[in-house]
Chain A
Amino acid sequence: MSGVLVIAEARQGALRDISFELITAAREISAAGSITVALIGSDPGLAAQLNATGVSEVITIASPVDHFEPHVSAAAVGRLVDELSPAVVLAGHTIDSLGFGAAVAAVKDAGFASDVTSLAWDGALTVQRGLYGDKFLQTLTFPGKETVVILVRPGTFGATSPGNGSANVRPGADVDASAVRSRHTGYREPEVGDVDITKADFLLAIGRGAGAEDESDLEPYYELAERIGATLVSSRPLVDAGLVPSARQVGQSGKTVAPKVYLALGVSGAVQHLIGMRKADTIIAVNTDPSAPIFGAAHYGSHADLSDVADALKDAFS
């Protein structure tokens, strides 16, 4: 058992960043053996980009359907595991991979860990992942497992530059049409709201800690935003509760923003939220929970009561 098999990810005709982040991750455990990248069910023309430094082989696998299909991916990865006996399979902790990663691990009786943030190889694989909203860090090993399937958290590793490699690029065996068990019928683009939060210089973000139970509870925050010249955005829970329109959601399933200032009130900082805002120039976080992960991303923080700070801030801008 040796080698690292990377499962590339593409959508709507383009490779996603995670593909190149996974190649970086694979290079960090290059002692496990050579790196093979698999491109499943996508335009084989994209393979040239995956031929990056450190990659030995790129295998393109044709799918009977035009779009990502989790059962096709599971079948393709399962067969590559049989053929190549890789020590490690790396895929993204992404929506696509959540549809097949654990399936491959269960069927192949492989080791499995998801949302992984660090990897090391010392004759065997050791990984780390966050638990309880990243308040704790777990270290895992996989004794007795010939292959380990790892889903890597997006944005954890820098992306390897596309191309420039010296890999052998070849087609693998096609996946049979009988593997297909669901049908793509279309995409729906995200809702366009009354405001484009990606264009604003200054965002006021509110989270679950704002304690809002209905829309009227949010009025003071909209007023505050207007007073201080910010655009109001939120983390997922307030959008799920129907209190804030999805066009104002920051995070993995919402918008990615990079304003000059991001003022977060009562936002705990779940990783899905941090992915969407960590590129802001200056992040200020107010949260009464000193162990909230948002403080790891913020430049300035306060543990003061957020409604007191909000009131005082309103006065400071009057």
Chain B
Amino acid sequence: MKIVVPLKVAASPDESAKIEGNALDESSLEWNLNEWDTFSVEAALQLSEAHGGEVVVVSLGGDEVEDGLLTALAMGADRAIQINVEDETHKLDAISTARVLAKAVESESADLILCGVMSSDGVSAGVGTALAALLDLPRVAVVNHIDYSDGQLSVRRELEGGLLEEISLVTPALLTIQTGINEPRYANLRGIRAASSKPREELTIERLGLDEDALADGSATVQALALPPVSEGAEILEGDAQDVAARIAQIIKSKVGS
């Protein structure tokens, strides 16, 4: 089976992060393979190990994308597609990202596409579901268990409150993968060495026949980025750990009674 795994390399701002215009100062951002996507890569690798096949990872963005794809290749993915966003200021939203991914992967005719439920930075949780719709694939969102046999998928969807729903569907299909579904492997030294010689294809949005400027307008326009309003928030307990513990003990005793 061929499994395509779209990945995001997600930004996390450090404590010095400053707002510049409608975005964060690039120098304060650290880039890592999105946490949810480590689980979708692992799920794809486990399925291909059990049933045979190929795992293709795909990502779009700026220079940061390469390291994320190499990480997935080092974990064991077979091939990567890197889609370069030419204009660094173009931060594509979930729907536009899905449009680019749809163009890039439609010719792959994947049996299964596995996306992370969401990204830790944008938290839209929209790319996978939009991608499925654009490719006209059946989908299940927020999956935490997969059984596969001969084109049949039996999956569990994780509902609120820990309730699980069991669902069956046939491939080709798209699933969005929840954290905790498996234990993502770390790339070992051999994997890391092998990664750099695995096939990597570089594309641009233009070469996919899409207009990057039009996509950048996307499904929403960012008017502002700000710090959230300061809530009344917590009374901060001062002093060293002893003082803090003494105050906490006092609060506990007065509220719970003992």
Stretch from B51-59, B67-75, B188-196, B249-257 contacting the other chain = B249-257
Interface size of A by CB at 8 A reads 99
> Given A101, A106, A133, which contacts B120 in the complex, CB threshold below 8 Å?
A133
B220-A103 in contact (CB<8A): no
Return the CB mask of A72-108 against B: 1 if under 8 Å, else 0. 0010000000000000000001110011111111110
Task: Name A93's closest neighbour in chain B (CB-CB).
Answer: B125
Q: Which residues of A contact B222 (CB under 8 A)?
A: 138-140
User: In the complex, are the beta carbons of A110 and B219 less than 8 A apart?
Assistant: yes
Interface string of B219-258 (1 = CB under 8 A from A): 1111111111101011111001110111111011001101
Q: Looking at the complex, which one of A132, A183, A190, A301 makes contact with B236 (CB distance below 8 Å)? A: A301
* CB neighbours of A134 from chain B (8 A): 228
Is B168 in contact with A182, judged by CB distance below 8 angstroms?
yes
8 Å CB interface, B19-69 against A = 19, 24
- CB pair A136 B129 closer than 8 Å: no
- Report how far A296 CA is from B125 CA in the complex, Å: 24
A107 to B13 Cα, complex, angstroms? 33
Q: With A105-B95, A114-B124, A305-B241 given, is the CB distance from A99 to B166 under 8 Å?
A: no
Report if A102-B223 is in contact (Cβ < 8 Å); known contacts: A187-B165, A187-B166, A295-B234.
Answer: no
The verdict on A143 contacting chain B, using a C-beta distance below 8 Å, is yes
Q: Which among B132, B142, B180 is the interface contact of A95 at CB below 8 angstroms?
A: B142
Known contacts A95-B160, A102-B133: A300-B251 contact under CB 8 Å: yes
- Stretch of B1-9, B79-87, B150-158 at the chain-chain interface: B150-158
Cα distance A253–B162 in the bound complex, in angstroms: 5
CA–CA, A291 and B14, complex, Å: 11
Contact with B along A296-318 (1 / 0, CB 8 A): 10111111110011011101110
Asked if B245 contacts A312 (CB within 8 A), the reply is: yes
What string of 1s and 0s marks CB contacts (under 8 Å) between B117-161 and chain A? Answer: 100111111111111111000111110000000000010111111
- Interface check A267, CB cutoff 8 A: no
Q: Is A170 an interface residue (CB 8 A)?
A: no
Interface membership of A189, Cβ < 8 A = yes
State how many angstroms separate the Cβ of A188 from the closest Cβ of chain B: 4
B203 at the interface (CB under 8 A from A): no
Does A172 sit at the interface, judged by CB under 8 A? no
Residues of B within 8 A of A144 (CB): 217
Given contacts A181-B169, A184-B167, A236-B179, contact A106 B220 (CB under 8 A): no
A190 near B126: Cβ-Cβ < 8 Å: no
Q: Is A138 touching B224 in the complex (CB atoms < 8 A)?
A: yes
A301 adjacent to B138 (CB under 8 Å): no
Q: Within 8 Å CB of B165, what residues of A? A: 67, 184, 186-188
Assembled-state Cα–Cα distance A241/B38 (Å): 13
- Asked if A70 meets B140 with Cβ closer than 8 Å, knowing A182-B167, A182-B168, A183-B168, the reply is yes
CA distance A140 to B165 in the complex (A): 34
Complex-state Cα separation, A119 to B11, whole angstroms: 26
Chain B residues with CB below 8 A from A145, complex form: 219
Q: Assess whether A240 is interfacial by the CB under 8 Å rule.
A: yes
User: Given A105-B219, A185-B167, A260-B256, are A115 and B228 neighbors across the interface (CB < 8 Å)?
Assistant: no
Is A249 at the interface (CB under 8 A from chain B)?
A: yes
Q: How far is the CB of A59 from chain B (nearest CB, A)?
A: 22
A217 contacts chain B at the CB level, 8 A cutoff: no
Of chain A, the residue at the smallest CB distance from B12 is A132
Closest to A182 in B: B169
Q: Which residues 162-189 in B have Cβ within 8 Å of A in the complex?
A: 162-169, 176, 179-180, 183
B21 smallest CB distance to A (angstroms): 12
Given contacts A136-B225, A136-B227, A145-B219, contact A190 B249 (CB under 8 A): no
Check A312/B166 contact, CB under 8 A, given A142-B219, A145-B219, A298-B233: no
Nearest chain B CB to A177 CB, angstrom units = 14
Contact of B24 among A136, A182, A188 (CB under 8 A): A136
List of B residues within 8 angstroms of A190 by Cβ: 161-164
Chain B contacts to A: CB under 8 angstroms: 11-13, 15, 17, 19, 24, 93-95, 98-99, 117, 120-134, 138-142, 154, 156-169, 176, 179-180, 183, 217, 219-229, 231, 233-237, 240-242, 244-249, 251-252, 255-256, 258
Q: Which 7 A-B pairs have the closest CB atoms?
A: A190-B162, A301-B234, A240-B180, A312-B245, A103-B133, A308-B241, A102-B126
Given contacts A112-B126, A239-B180, A298-B234, 16 further A-B contacts (CB under 8 A): A70-B129, A98-B126, A99-B140, A105-B130, A112-B93, A112-B124, A113-B219, A187-B164, A190-B164, A253-B159, A300-B247, A302-B244, A309-B245, A313-B245, A315-B245, A317-B249
Could you list 20 A-B pairs, sorted by A, with CB under 8 Å? A95-B159, A102-B94, A102-B125, A103-B133, A106-B95, A112-B219, A130-B228, A131-B122, A133-B120, A137-B228, A137-B229, A185-B154, A190-B164, A239-B180, A253-B159, A300-B236, A301-B235, A309-B248, A312-B242, A315-B245
Residues of A within 8 A of B (CB): 11, 67, 70-71, 74, 93-95, 98-107, 110-115, 126, 129-145, 181-191, 201-202, 228-229, 236-237, 239-242, 246, 249, 252-256, 260-261, 263, 281-286, 289, 291, 295-296, 298-305, 308-309, 311-313, 315-317
